[in-house]
């Protein structure tokens, strides 16, 4: 059984003001195996974030079935950790309290909450900053808190919606390396949304290329280049050429169609 099964997912947004419907996701079928690192790659507006929100349970699909660990997704839940594009931390809580928020909701005592959260603070390299508020931390550090918060729930899948898009290039590289290290250490299933071919190739062992509106799956490419990946190696560039060709083919098809 796959960790995530998407069956005939269709999403239509109805634009009430203009009185028309917008087909955003058109018949998505995808199986994601446990412990896979899957990147959903596509241009802005292709519906990849919408697809992630459907798996997270934030939005219902218009039709189709979404199964996580064999269970139908109906609402958000702590079996699916989400890392948002913006850190989306509670600004009134310190880093450690943000990481441990799930435990607080479950009624775990404070000392134990902090003990368990410290493990994840260490994992994302934030020891020494655990008592800082989000306003005192940089964007990259806050995003680490967001990742630690998702990991602490020990979810079966982690959904990431362009979490590094707002970071500078150098921080982004660091965070990508660390995320891969965490994934290797903890063996979890990650679905990572990105519009960057490079990012998808650095991170994923499976890259799902999506087409522009309406969103369809163009192709799912397995990519097993050993890690750490050298982004200047011929193998990396071959893969990049292949993915770019898929995207280009798609845009010429669209251009011809219009």
Give the residue carrying structure tokens 């796959």. 2
What lies within 8 Å, CB to CB, of 114 at 6+ separation is 96, 100
Task: Tell me: does residue 193 bind another protein (CB under 8 A).
Answer: no
How far apart (Å, rounded) are the C-alpha atoms in residues 193 and 163?
A: 8
As measured in angstroms, the least distance from the Cβ of 14 to another protein is 19
As measured in angstroms, the least distance from the Cβ of 76 to another protein is 4
CA nearest to 25, candidates 5, 10, 41: 10
As measured in angstroms, the least distance from the Cβ of 113 to another protein is 13
240 neighbors 197 (Cβ within 8 angstroms):
yes
Nearer to another protein, 13 or 58 (CB): 58
Taking CB under 8 A as the binding criterion, the range among 111-119, 131-139, 195-203, 204-212 that sits at the site for another protein is 131-139
Task: Tell me: does residue 204 bind another protein (CB under 8 A).
Answer: no
Please select the residue that binds another protein; options are 8, 29, 71, 106, rule is CB under 8 A: 106
Q: Report residue 231 as tokens.
A: 């982004």
DSSP character at residue 86: S
Q: Report residue 153 as tokens.
A: 């729930």
> b/e string for 47-80 if b means 16 or more Cβ within 10 A?
bbbbbbbbbbbebebbebebbbeeeebeeeeeeb
Task: Tell me: does residue 236 bind another protein (CB under 8 A).
Answer: no
Task: Tell me: does residue 154 bind another protein (CB under 8 A).
Answer: no
How far apart (Å, rounded) are the C-alpha atoms in residues 198 and 107?
A: 42
Task: Tell me: does residue 86 bind another protein (CB under 8 A).
Answer: yes
Task: Tell me: does residue 82 bind another protein (CB under 8 A).
Answer: yes
Please select the residue that binds another protein; options are 7, 114, 132, 242, rule is CB under 8 A: 132
| Site for another protein, residues 5 to 64, rule: CB under 8 A | 56-58
Residues in contact with another protein by CB under 8 A are 56-58, 75-78, 80-82, 84, 86, 88-93, 101-102, 104-106, 128-129, 132-133, 135-138, 140-141, 149, 153
């Amino acid at each position: 059984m796959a960790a995530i099964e998407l069956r005939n997912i269709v999403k239509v947004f109805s634009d009430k003001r203009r009185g028309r419907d917008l087909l955003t996701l058109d018949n998505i079928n995808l199986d994601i195996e446990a412990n896979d690192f899957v990147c959903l790659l596509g241009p802005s507006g292709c519906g990849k974030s919408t697809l992630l929100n459907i798996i997270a349970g934030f939005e219902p699909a218009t039709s189709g079935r979404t199964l996580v660990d064999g269970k139908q997704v109906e609402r958000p839940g702590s079996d699916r950790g989400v890392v948002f594009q913006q850190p989306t931390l509670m600004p009134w809580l310190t880093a450690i309290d943000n990481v441990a928020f799930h435990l607080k909701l479950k009624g775990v005592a404070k000392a134990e909450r902090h003990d368990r959260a410290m493990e994840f603070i260490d994992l994302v390299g934030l020891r020494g900053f655990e008592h800082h508020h989000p306003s005192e931390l940089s964007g990259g550090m806050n995003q680490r808190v967001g990742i630690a918060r998702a990991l602490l729930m020990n979810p079966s899948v982690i959904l990431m919606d362009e979490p590094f898009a707002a970071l500078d290039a150098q921080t982004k590289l660091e965070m990508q390396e660390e995320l891969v290290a965490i994934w290797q250490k903890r063996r979890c299933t990650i679905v990572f949304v990105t519009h960057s071919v490079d990012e998808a190739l650095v991170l994923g062992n499976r890259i799902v290329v999506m087409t522009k509106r309406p969103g369809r799956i163009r192709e799912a490419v397995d990519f097993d280049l050993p890690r750490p990946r050298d982004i200047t190696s011929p193998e990396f560039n071959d893969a990049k050429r292949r993915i770019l060709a898929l995207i280009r083919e798609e845009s010429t098809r669209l251009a011809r169609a219009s």
